[in-house]
């Protein structure tokens, strides 16, 4: 029954209604809620209670990290910049076992604080980074919630940057998956911090709590969390090099019973995603997929393609059934800008629509001269 419910939940996530029987059956997952995403195909593979409100615990730190990486990118912060430890940051670290052991009044480099926040899940390091980026914890929390709105999140509300329990500090596994996905997409160079197995600061060595870093060489992140209310949580991501190219999956598991359980259940989801679903690469970004006639243009035709790679995930053995359908907004009349949308590419398996991707002009087409425009206008009238 649980497997059927999970399949029905997944069908609700897919672009078009799919019968539960047509999908691979997800394994039994001993957790309150979960979602498995194929990031290479931008597609959910399995889910249960994806929109149920949950306490995110230290998974919150993914949103904090996003804003810290944003500040680094915008040069509002520097990796070698030293921050003075505030009493608030120190006291926050003292309220929970997750801390970096920074001391009031000392100076700590931003990069060390990032490692303390990610590898050690240090609440003290997290608060100090939040103060540096936002000016105050309160301002930083407001930034977190504005970013959540920018991501289109409907449920997630943050009350602090570290994830300690607070009334109204909530999210869902679907929305946590969105935050993790955006972190990986927008800051791919920073994934390296999430694969660090241990970090030593102030002569204290702490190991990353993500047990899959030791068990699966393809796992390179992402974040653990725990509170009494949330249970044991893990967002795990793996990148495996397959014959048809690299493929990244991401699992979000919340409410497991132990550290071991969250690792085992996450590994089960990732392995099932790779073994039960095939990745199908359809087109590369900006690959010409069609040539269309252009009216009133200096050129009589234009090459069309997508601005991003097109890939889909299908149940194992269904790769040969994948087909595409290009729907154009004809007639195409110059001028056309490079990157201008001129249609939609539908990727289908049987009658299922797996993806709909904007199709754009891969090159600009200027207007023809007066005679060329008049001639094409006459031809259009006669069509």
The catalytic residues are 58, 61, 121
Give phi and psi for 104, each to the nearest 5: -55, 135
**Separation between Cα atoms, residue 262 and residue 326, nearest integer Å:** 43
Task: Give CA–CA dist 303/265, Å, rounded.
Answer: 46
Any residues with CB less than 8 A from the CB of 47 and at least 6 apart, and which? 6, 9, 10, 13, 34, 35, 36, 173, 174
């Amino acid at each position: 029954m649980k497997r059927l419910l999970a399949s029905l939940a997944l069908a609700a996530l897919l672009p078009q209604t799919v019968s539960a029987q047509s999908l691979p059956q997800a394994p039994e997952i001993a957790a309150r809620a979960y979602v498995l995403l194929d990031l290479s195909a931008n597609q959910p593979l399995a889910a249960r209670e994806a929109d149920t409100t949950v306490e995110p615990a230290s998974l919150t730190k993914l949103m904090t990290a996003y804003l810290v990486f944003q500040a680094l990118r915008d040069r509002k912060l520097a990796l070698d910049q030293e921050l003075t430890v505030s009493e608030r940051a120190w006291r926050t670290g003292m309220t929970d076992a997750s801390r970096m052991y920074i001391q009031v009044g000392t100076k700590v480099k931003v990069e060390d604080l990032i490692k303390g926040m990610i590898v050690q899940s240090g609440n003290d390091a997290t608060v100090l980074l939040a103060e540096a980026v936002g000016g105050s914890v309160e301002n930083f929390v407001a930034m977190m919630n504005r970013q959540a709105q920018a991501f289109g999140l409907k449920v997630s509300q943050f009350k602090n940057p570290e994830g300690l329990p607070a009334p109204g500090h909530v999210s869902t596994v679907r929305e946590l998956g969105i935050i993790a996905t955006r972190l990986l997409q927008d800051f791919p160079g920073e994934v390296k911090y999430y694969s660090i197995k241990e970090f030593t600061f102030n002569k204290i060595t702490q190991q990353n709590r993500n047990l899959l870093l030791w068990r699966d060489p393809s796992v390179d992140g992402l974040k653990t969390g725990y509170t009494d209310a949330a249970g044991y949580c893990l967002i795990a991501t793996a990148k495996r090099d397959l014959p048809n190219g690299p493929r990244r999956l991401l699992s979000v598991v919340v409410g497991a019973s132990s550290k071991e359980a969250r690792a085992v259940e996450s590994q089960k989801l990732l392995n099932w995603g790779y073994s039960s679903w095939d990745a199908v690469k359809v087109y590369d970004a900006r690959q010409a997929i069609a040539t269309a006639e252009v009216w009133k243009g200096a050129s009589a035709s234009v090459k069309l393609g997508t601005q991003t790679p097109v890939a889909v995930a299908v149940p194992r053995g269904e790769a040969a059934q994948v087909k595409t359908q290009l729907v154009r907004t004809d007639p195409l009349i110059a001028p056309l800008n490079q990157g201008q949308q001129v249609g939609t590419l539908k990727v289908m398996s049987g009658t299922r629509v797996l993806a709909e991707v904007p199709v754009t002009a891969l090159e600009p087409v200027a207007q023809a001269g007066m005679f060329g425009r008049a001639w094409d206008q006459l031809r259009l009238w006669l069509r």
